Amino acid sequence: MAYVTIRDVALRSGTSISTVSRALNNSGRISPATKAAIEQAARELGYIPDSRAKAMRSTKTSLVALLVPDIRNPYFADLAYAIQDTLFDAGYCTSIGTSSENGEKQDAYITSMLSQHVDGAIIVPRGGATPAMRAIVEKNVPMVFVDRHVSDMHEVPVVDSDPAPGLSQALNDLHDRGFTRVGYISGPILDSPTFQEREAAFRTIAGTLFREDGIFVESTSFGHVSCASVMRKMRSWGVQAVIFGYSQDAIQAISLMGSRGFVIGKDISLISFDDLEMFTLTTPRISVISQQVQKIGSLGAKLLLDRVEKRGRAESQRVKTLYIPRESVAAAL
């Protein structure tokens, strides 16, 4: 059984190709009788229209490309799920690609999607603008950035979270509990306006609540070693509570502390960005600053749909971060 084509359906229903097309797409007038006959023939044959051929004529693929750095990161998995869900309900298929925080692969994927003439692209950019990303813009393919943005592509709308509200709530909580020495670990800050902004927001807000000499900021790159040494530094400075701008760092830190007998919420208090399920499984459960990833995802998808379907001028949006206190933050010693 090879693929059934529109021709087979026409033959079987004793009509022509054009009539079948019109009947199955509800376009133009057709007599109810022929329409019914055609639908039955299509059903009997198990006809599945070739979307490639369809798309070539109508320049509409109902396909959207989604690019995330790493699908194994639960934050991105949640994001991808929310986006795919929203898009699916609107009749679009989402193709999820992974760039592995790797520029080359990122561009290979984008190019491949472009060659399939996707109707739009949702991208969590990694690093700066790339050739393939510029190609998307040049070809006028609708695109939105989600979660992060790229500093030199201002024409692309972005849906991300505003770190200030959650950080403010978190820092106020620490302040209220009597902490005087707070630290911030900012993750892979290089090239990332998002992580830069988080750090800046921390500095600003902490500056209004704590003394200058009670505020400590460090950054990690990827990798275990660095995270361990940063934690050591924080400890040696007598930092009482530390906020992680990058949840993957927090995960490493928790694992490290567990293996060294450090007790979170006692030896040191801890807060991380991203409301991940695993942060509720640890003992104690980890306080988080939620980016409301679900909201970011659905907003991003809707924004793209607005562009694809050309309703209004959709603009960038920010979702408020939200502090969720749990037992990893205790009173100051």
Partner DNA sequence: CTGAAAGCGCTTACAG
Q: Contact positions toward DNA, by CB under 7 A?
A: 3, 5-7, 15-19, 21-22, 24-25, 27-31, 33-35, 47, 49-50, 53-54, 56-58
DSSP for 21-52 reads HHHHHT-S---HHHHHHHHHHHHHHT----HH
Under a CB-based contact definition with an 8 Å cutoff, are residues 109 and 67 in contact?
A: yes
Residue 247: CB minimum distance to its own copies, A: 11
Under a CB-based contact definition with an 8 Å cutoff, are residues 233 and 218 in contact?
A: yes
Nearer to DNA, 18 or 255 (CB): 18
Q: What spatial distance separates the first Cα and last Cα of the chain, rounded to whole Å?
A: 74
Query: Which positions touch its own copies (CB under 8 A)?
Result: 1-3, 46, 48-53, 55-56, 61, 63, 70-72, 74, 77-78, 80-81, 84-85, 88, 93-98, 105, 108-109, 111-112, 114-117, 135, 138-140, 251, 254-255, 258, 277-278, 280-283, 285
With helix as H, strand as E and coil as C, how does 275-305 read?
CCHHHHCCCCCCEEEECCHHHHHHHHHHHHH
Using CA atoms, how far apart are residues 44 and 4, in angstroms rounded to an integer? 11
Select from DNA, its own copies, none the partner in contact with residue 144, using the beta carbon and a kind-dependent cut-off of 5 to 8 Å: none
Select from its own copies, DNA, none the partner in contact with residue 255, using the beta carbon and a kind-dependent cut-off of 5 to 8 Å: its own copies
Nearer to its own copies, 117 or 318 (CB): 117
Residue 254: CB minimum distance to its own copies, A: 5
Nearer to DNA, 50 or 315 (CB): 50
Under a CB-based contact definition with an 8 Å cutoff, are residues 279 and 270 in contact?
A: no
Nearer to its own copies, 130 or 168 (CB): 130
Select from its own copies, DNA, none the partner in contact with residue 204, using the beta carbon and a kind-dependent cut-off of 5 to 8 Å: none
Select from DNA, its own copies, none the partner in contact with residue 102, using the beta carbon and a kind-dependent cut-off of 5 to 8 Å: none
Nearer to DNA, 14 or 207 (CB): 14
Sign of the dihedral through C-alpha 154, 159, 161, 165: positive
Under a CB-based contact definition with an 8 Å cutoff, are residues 111 and 136 in contact?
A: no
Q: Between β-strands 322-324 and 287-290, what pairing exists: parallel, antiparallel or unpaired?
A: antiparallel
Residue 150: CB minimum distance to its own copies, A: 20
Residue 84: CB minimum distance to DNA, A: 24
Burial of 161 (0-12, 13-18, 19+ CB in 10 A): buried
Backbone angles phi, psi at 249, to 5 degrees: -65, -40
Select from DNA, its own copies, none the partner in contact with residue 43, using the beta carbon and a kind-dependent cut-off of 5 to 8 Å: none
Cα angle 290, 101, 198 (rounded to 5 degrees) comes to: 35
Residue 243: CB minimum distance to its own copies, A: 18
Amino acid at 174: L
Select from its own copies, DNA, none the partner in contact with residue 27, using the beta carbon and a kind-dependent cut-off of 5 to 8 Å: DNA
Q: Taking Cα atoms as reference points, which of 94, 108, 92 lies closest to residue 60?
A: 92
Residue 46: CB minimum distance to DNA, A: 11
Nearer to DNA, 6 or 254 (CB): 6
Under a CB-based contact definition with an 8 Å cutoff, are residues 218 and 185 in contact?
A: yes
Would you state the structure tokens that stand for residue 100, as one six-digit string? 């592995």
Residue 113: CB minimum distance to its own copies, A: 8
